[in-house]
Amino acid sequence: MMESAGWQVLVVRVPLDPDYEAGVRKLQALQQWLAQNHKPVTLFRADGRPRSEMVCLAVPVEAADKALAWRAFCNELGIAAGMVQWRTAPYRPIALEPPFKMEFD
């Protein structure tokens, strides 16, 4: 498995208030998009209620096209304004000893 140079994390809020049914339809559309373009994720509980108003997508930075497609789809649904995103870098262990000698007087 190739190590990624980092991850792009996108979190979007799908408001369920004031129009609950419209919010549920948007969550269903997001769930379908994720199943077709990313990986299947259940956004609803067994009783049919939404798990959360927040939906998170994390993709390797090398897959910027997938992140852009997600942003475009959220924009089509009218929820892109409620999106935040950030990039994470892979964990790189810090050396136990500094690469230089510290001298004190």
Rounded to the nearest integer, the mean pLDDT of the chain is 89
Half-sphere exposure of 79 (CA within 13 A, CB side): 22
Rounded to two decimals, the pTM is 0.80
- pLDDT, tens digit (0-9, with 9 covering 90-100), for 71-81: 999 999 999 99
Structural domain spans, the chain: 12-88
